[in-house]
């Protein structure tokens, strides 16, 4: 990354969509705010007229693939992709090869993130050894490692054994950790290819019932409350799941939940063309589910937006539906999709977006130097976003090594113009630095 250290004076930005102010970034922090600030000697001035300033985004659910699948993504390429999307911190999921189930592997991922320097990479530790669901991984050692892991997940595979899930929830209490569950009852989804319903019947594809997600969420909310631990539900996708989480919160369960951008916008009808770019776990659901997810995010039942950025090499997606890999890239388009589905529809304000995409994920992941207000003295993790822009999505033009975006060919609103990590620009004028 080029050496672009030194003070930066951001002119005329609109923090959280409010009135224009100047922001002076120096020595890794926000040094001053106000109107018509004087530029210190050597400061670089950034014209942010018409741009919204948000705290740097934090993603609780990213697949960076390294180690083991560097053909799809690396920590460096994924970090650059994150910066282009306005992210200053991401959590790298554990389903790598080798699996991130030891202190050694999580420290490797953490070091690779530091060396790349485009965003802070926080490794997620596996709940079970090898994601096999048989015995707990080195949870304590990963928590005590240099990476300081606080989020543990077998994402991609459900921790379906109730006793093992209980033990994991009990274990992470000792250091204020959280278990992030991939809610999918395996016996109900064997061979499933898409959402179970009239579309799957018509296409002749094995269906993925909503109850397979909802049953695990209900069980785990009760387990978390029983042991007094923190539970986070990954990629909520059904109306019933929103209802269960709302009920669990009302009864005092310490549960948080996420929704992906693609589940906020896309529906199962897209599968009718058998294009594997729309194959994802959990599957795209119905329009009624999409509406419930939007409402749940708006009222706080769903706490955050998380990308579930899942890059794949072209050959894993450009094949027949039944053999294609599941997953979609999402880091570079997340903020635009949230603008289209939540802000432009009046469901969220920009202050709400800052909460759902920065403050709340940082709080859940215990990332204490991210998700802060844009106030004097706070870390200078800032994204400048142009809500009036429009971008024609092209997977081939993305910074990620993979281009398997479900939004290809769409015109999405908004564009990240600049991202600052502790006052150093990782993106300027819409270009990676």
Annotated binding site for substrate: 63-65, 95, 281, 312
Is residue 80 located within the same domain as residue 193? yes
Does residue 16 sit in helix, strand or coil? coil
In a domain, 405, yes or no: no
Instruction: Tell me the pLDDT tens digit for each residue of 353-403.
Output: 999 999 999 999 999 999 999 999 999 999 999 999 999 999 999 999 999
Annotated binding site: 61, 63-65, 95, 155, 182, 235, 281, 308, 312
Residue 257, beta-bridge partner list: 233
In a domain, 25, yes or no: yes
In a domain, 371, yes or no: no
Instruction: Tell me the pLDDT tens digit for each residue of 98-122.
Output: 999 999 999 999 999 999 999 999 9
What angle separates helix 75-84 from helix 103-116, to the nearest 10 degrees? 50
Residue 195, beta-bridge partner list: 208
Annotated binding site for Zn(2+): 61, 63, 155, 182, 235, 308
pLDDT band at 3 (very low <50, low <70, confident <90, very high): very low
Is residue 74 located within the same domain as residue 44? no
The predicted pLDDT at position 361 comes to 98
Q: Pick from 341, 340, 326: which is nearest to 406 by CA?
A: 326
Given the DSSP bridges, would you call strands 57-62 and 87-92 parallel, antiparallel or unpaired? parallel
* Helix (H), strand (E) counts: the chain: 13, 19
Q: Where are the beta strands (DSSP E) in 202-265?
A: 207-208, 231-233, 255-259
DSSP state of 253: -
**Does residue 174 register a pLDDT over 80?**
yes
Report the C-alpha gap between 196 and 193 in whole angstroms. Answer: 9
Give the CATH number, domain containing residue 352.
Answer: 3.20.20.140
Is residue 146 located within the same domain as residue 171? yes
Is residue 238 located within the same domain as residue 253? yes
Report the C-alpha gap between 393 and 405 in whole angstroms. Answer: 8
Q: How far is CA 415 from CA 1, 310, 311, 320, 410, in A?
A: 21, 21, 21, 33, 14
Q: Pick from 420, 411, 416: which is nearest to 386 by CA?
A: 416
Write out the catalytic residue numbers. 308
What pTM did the predictor assign? 0.97
Q: Where are the beta strands (DSSP E) in 182-229?
A: 194-195, 207-208
Picking from 365, 388, 420, the residue at the C-terminal end of a domain is 365
Record the tokens describing residue 36, joined without a space.
């018509």
Q: How many domains does the chain have?
A: 2
Report the C-alpha gap between 244 and 251 in whole angstroms. Answer: 11
**Does residue 23 register a pLDDT over 60?**
yes
Is residue 152 located within the same domain as residue 189? yes
Given the DSSP bridges, would you call strands 255-259 and 194-195 parallel, antiparallel or unpaired? unpaired
Domain limits at 104? 56-365
Is residue 185 located within the same domain as residue 326? yes
Q: Which residues contact 327 (CB under 8 A, 6 or more apart)?
A: 63, 279, 280, 281, 308, 310, 311, 312, 404
In a domain, 3, yes or no: no
In a domain, 384, yes or no: yes
Give the CATH number, domain containing residue 396.
Answer: 2.30.40.10
Q: Where are the beta strands (DSSP E) in 260-319?
A: 304-305
CA torsion through residues 425, 427, 428, 433, sign: positive
Is residue 98 located within the same domain as residue 195? yes
Is residue 268 located within the same domain as residue 384? no
Instruction: Tell me the pLDDT tens digit for each residue of 55-89.
Output: 999 999 999 999 999 999 999 999 999 999 999 99
């Amino acid at each position: 990354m080029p050496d672009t250290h030194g003070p930066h004076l951001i002119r005329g930005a609109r923090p959280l969509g409010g009135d224009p102010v100047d922001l002076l970034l120096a020595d890794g922090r926000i040094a001053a705010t106000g109107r018509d600030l004087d530029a210190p000697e050597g400061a670089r001035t950034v014209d942010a007229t018409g741009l919204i300033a948000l705290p740097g985004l934090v993603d609780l659910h990213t697949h960076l693939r390294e180690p083991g699948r560097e053909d799809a993504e690396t920590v460096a390429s994924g970090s650059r992709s994150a910066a282009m999307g306005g992210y200053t911190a991401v959590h790298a999921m554990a389903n790598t090869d080798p699996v991130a189930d030891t202190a050694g592997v999580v420290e490797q991922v953490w070091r690779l993130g530091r060396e790349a320097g485009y965003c802070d990479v926080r490794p997620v530790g596996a709940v079970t050894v090898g994601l096999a669901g048989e015995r707990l991984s080195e949870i304590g050692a990963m928590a005590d490692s240099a990476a300081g892991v606080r989020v543990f997940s077998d994402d991609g595979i459900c921790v379906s054994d109730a006793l093992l899930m209980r033990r994991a929830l009990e274990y992470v209490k000792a250091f204020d950790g959280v278990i992030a569950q991939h809610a999918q009852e395996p016996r109900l989804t064997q061979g499933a290819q898409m959402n179970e319903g009239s579309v799957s019947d018509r296409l002749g594809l094995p269906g993925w019932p909503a109850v397979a997600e909802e049953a695990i969420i209900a069980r785990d909310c009760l387990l978390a409350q029983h042991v007094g631990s923190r539970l986070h539900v990954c990629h909520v996708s059904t109306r019933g799941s929103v209802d269960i989480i709302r009920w669990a919160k009302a009864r005092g369960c310490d549960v948080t939940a996420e929704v992906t951008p693609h589940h906020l916008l896309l529906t199962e009808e897209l599968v009718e063309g058998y294009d594997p770019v729309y194959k994802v776990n959990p599957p795209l659901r119905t329009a009624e589910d999409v509406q419930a997810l939007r409402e749940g995010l708006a009222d706080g039942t769903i706490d955050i937006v998380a990308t579930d950025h899942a890059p794949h090499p072209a050959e894993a997606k450009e094949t027949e539906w039944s053999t294609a890999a599941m997953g979609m890239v999402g880091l570079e388009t997340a903020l635009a999709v949230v603008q289209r589905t939540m802000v432009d529809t009046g469901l969220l304000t920009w202050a709400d977006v800052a909460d759902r995409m920065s403050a709340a994920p940082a709080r859940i992941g215990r990332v204490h130097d991210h998700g802060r207000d844009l106030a004097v003295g706070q870390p200078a993790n800032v994204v400048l976003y142009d809500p009036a822009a429009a971008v024609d999505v092209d997977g081939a033009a993305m910074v990620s090594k993979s281009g398997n975006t479900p939004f290809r060919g769409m015109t999405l609103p908004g564009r990240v113009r600049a991202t600052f990590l502790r006052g150093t620009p990782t993106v300027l004028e819409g270009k990676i630095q």
